[in-house]
């Protein structure tokens, strides 16, 4: 059982995300025509908003809205197309949902517009390696930032999947992302790290990263893990489509919680919320805290 430090993350628009008392569940809202996971509203903004609201009803603590597929091998789209997909969804969810909205983008122009439309944090799969202006855009919006680990671009990232010690190298490369963010004006206490399961990592490397998640504690930042429905699971489950990987996802989610994750990013919120609750109960009963004490609220506004 890995100890978990508590953090308060300041968000854009005055919110505070309280991390550590319990694991938060981030629900994925895909606004793409080619979602690998088979969920989301396609590029229909109304359907995507309805999907997001349903995820909140199911128990999501945050929503992550993305308009470009970042699966390995995916083709990029330009910022104008991405903005046209996500901005109506972000604006509607920021107005109607009761949880913080994250924009899943590596483009500075998309982040600027999305935070202006109500997004309170930016989720960058590139760890600030794709667009040098993204950190400055996030700083200007006073938003929180998730920096994820990857190498290369979607079309060639597996060519970069060479590690002598994957967890140690991921930690070192995430530290570069943290330093880059701070140099651009983002306070370190607004930063969250993501080991990038499945990004520039083959299946065995992704499982090793999960098993050694505690190596990221040296960064002294909250940890977000996105293990949901990804192809690394087929190394264990066999060649099954993403929608049939929920039991495998459940195993990875439970392990992530027990090994110190503060947030898990998932597609099937209702089922994974049960997994998180049980794993959190195990954590609580393992520690010294009063197991009957109520958990603190995860999100506040000032």
Domain with 64 in it: what CATH number? 3.20.20.20
Average pLDDT score over residue span 66-94: 91
156 within a domain of the structure (yes/no): yes
User: Which three-class secondary structure state does DSSP give residue 85?
Assistant: helix
> For the chain, how far is it from start to end, CA to CA, in angstroms?
34
* Catalytic-labelled residue, pool 230, 245, 277, 286: 230
CB 241 within 8 A of CB 38: yes
How many domains is the chain built from?
1
111 within a domain of the structure (yes/no): yes
* pLDDT band, residue 39 (cuts 50/70/90): low
302 within a domain of the structure (yes/no): no
Mark whether 265 is an active-site residue. yes
298 within a domain of the structure (yes/no): no
pLDDT of 191 strictly over 80: yes
User: Which three-class secondary structure state does DSSP give residue 58?
Assistant: helix
Residues 283-300 pLDDT 10s: 999 865 555 555 566 777
Tokens of 216: 């990221």
CA–CA gap between residue 134 and residue 106 (Å, rounded): 7
pLDDT at 290: 55
* pLDDT band, residue 158 (cuts 50/70/90): confident
Domain that holds residue 245: 7-287
pLDDT at 133: 98
CA–CA gap between residue 125 and residue 201 (Å, rounded): 13
Residue written as token pair 């104008």: 80
123 within a domain of the structure (yes/no): yes
- Return the closest-CA partner of residue 131 out of 78, 87, 167: 78
293 within a domain of the structure (yes/no): no
207 within a domain of the structure (yes/no): yes
- Return the closest-CA partner of residue 196 out of 39, 72, 75, 12: 72
pTM above 0.75, yes or no: yes
* Catalytic-labelled residue, pool 265, 270, 277, 283: 265
60 within a domain of the structure (yes/no): yes
Mark whether 230 is an active-site residue. yes
């Amino acid at each position: 059982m890995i100890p978990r430090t508590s953090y308060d993350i300041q968000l854009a628009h005055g919110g505070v995300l309280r991390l550590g008392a319990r694991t938060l569940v981030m629900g994925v809202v895909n606004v793409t025509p080619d979602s690998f996971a088979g969920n989301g509203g396609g590029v229909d903004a109304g359907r995507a908003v309805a999907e997001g609201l349903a995820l909140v009803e199911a128990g999501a603590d945050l929503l992550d809205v993305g308009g470009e597929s970042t699966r390995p091998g995916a083709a990029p789209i330009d910022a104008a197309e991405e903005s046209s997909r996500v901005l109506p969804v972000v604006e509607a969810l920021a107005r109607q949902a009761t949880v913080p909205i994250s924009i899943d983008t590596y483009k500075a122009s998309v982040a600027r517009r999305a935070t202006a439309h109500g997004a309170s944090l930016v989720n960058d799969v590139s760890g600030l390696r794709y667009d040098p202006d993204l950190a400055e855009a996030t700083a200007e919006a006073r938003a929180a930032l998730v920096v994820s680990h990857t190498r290369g671009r979607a079309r060639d990232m597996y060519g970069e999947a060479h590690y002598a010690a994957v967890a140690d190298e991921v930690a070192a490369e995430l530290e570069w992302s943290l330093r880059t963010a701070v140099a651009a004006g983002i306070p370190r206490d607004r930063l969250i790290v993501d080991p990038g399961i499945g990004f520039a990592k083959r299946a065995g490397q992704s499982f090793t990263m999960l098993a050694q998640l505690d190596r990221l504690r040296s960064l002294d930042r909250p940890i977000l893990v996105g293990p949901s429905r990804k192809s690394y699971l087929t190394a264990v489950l066999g060649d099954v489509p993403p929608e049939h990987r929920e039991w495998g996802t459940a195993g990875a989610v439970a392990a992530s919680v027990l090994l110190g994750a503060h947030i898990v990013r998932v597609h099937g919120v209702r089922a994974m919320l049960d997994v998180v609750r049980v794993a959190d109960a195990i954590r609580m009963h393992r520690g010294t805290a009063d197991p009957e004490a109520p958990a603190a609220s995860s999100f506040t506004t000032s």
